[in-house]
Amino acid sequence: MAKKFIIGNWKMNLNVHESSLFVTKLAQEVPTFRDVTTVICPSFLALQPLSMQISHRQMKLGAQDCYWRDSGAFTGEISATQLRGLAQYILVGHSERRHVFGEDDRDIRFKVQAALRNGLSPVLCIGETSVERDNGDIEHTIDDQLVSGLLNIDSDQIDEVLVAYEPVWAIGTGETPSVKDIEQVVKIIRTQVAHMFGRDAGKKIRILYGGSVNLDNAGVFLGIKGIDGLLIGGMSLIAPEFAGIVKIAGELAKIEAKEEKND
Ligand code: PGA
């Protein structure tokens, strides 16, 4: 059955105390639906206290990044091994990691593998810059990032991977791609995954959209065929917006479940 994923990326916001207060608010407002997985990605520091605080039925926890070695002399880093038991998801290759911190394809590939090796689901973030879009390079960019990010994964691991399509120019800008453009990218992703891991994997891979999602446009993006969820930045820090988006996902999931039953 199709499940929807709503993932909130808090980025470098909220200290431990504020995170706890905010989660108390979310707990009151975020509805629980059988077919919606709601994930919040706070700072590393807040993962441990929040893991004790949240109802795991209502929300899951994700990390915003990880290092790809499991342990060792890597001052300041946090490994996927250390995140086990605290987070179930890890954002990998978020645009800010790629563009502010200079992560390259190799780092990202190793992080995807580290997440899987440690039993966590990587959310591989991909997306073109405005220059790549203006040059007509979207397909090429998406294919490259996917092939490189998913290289050397076994076909039995691909089910654990989520792909988030986030055009770099749409993140935090209020600009968003058209429905047609997103449909096109969904097709590119499914085709490439099918090519790498077989037709079934191409059909089943979970694809999220991210970039300037809010309560007003969430329904449009969630309604796009082949989109399984949303990755939300700014609006994940506003409880009524985030809760409202989860509600939209839940209502849509209910309608889809009914349609599936009637088929
Ligand atoms: P935004 O961020 O929703 O604020 O555009 C999305 C993201 O960075 O994942």
- Extract the tokens encoding 193: 């995954």
| pLDDT at 259 (0 to 100) | 87
* Cβ partners under 8 Å of residue 187, min gap 6: 226
* Cβ partners under 8 Å of residue 247, min gap 6: 31
pTM tops 0.95, yes or no: yes
- Extract the tokens encoding 214: 């809010």
Instruction: Kindly give the parts of the chain with pLDDT less than 50.
Output: none
121 strand-pairing partners? 89
Question: Measured from the CA of 11, which atom of ligand 1 is nearest?
Answer: 8
| pLDDT at 2 (0 to 100) | 67
Distance 258 CA to ligand 1 centre (A): 31
Distance 246 CA to ligand 1 centre (A): 16
Catalytic hit among 96, 132, 166, 241? 166
Catalytic hit among 56, 94, 128, 259? 94
Q: Taking a C-beta distance cutoff of 8 angstroms, is the pair 229, 206 a contact?
A: yes
- Helices and strands, counts by H and E, the chain: 11, 8
Distance 71 CA to ligand 1 centre (A): 30
Longest dimension (CA), the chain: 56
Known active-site residue 166:
yes
Instruction: Report the interhelical angle of 239-262 vs 16-29 (nearest 10°).
Output: 40
Q: Taking a C-beta distance cutoff of 8 angstroms, is the pair 47, 74 a contact?
A: no
List, for residues 26-48, the tens digit of each pLDDT value. 999 999 999 999 999 999 999 99
Cα dihedral value 18, 22, 25, 30, nearest 10: -170
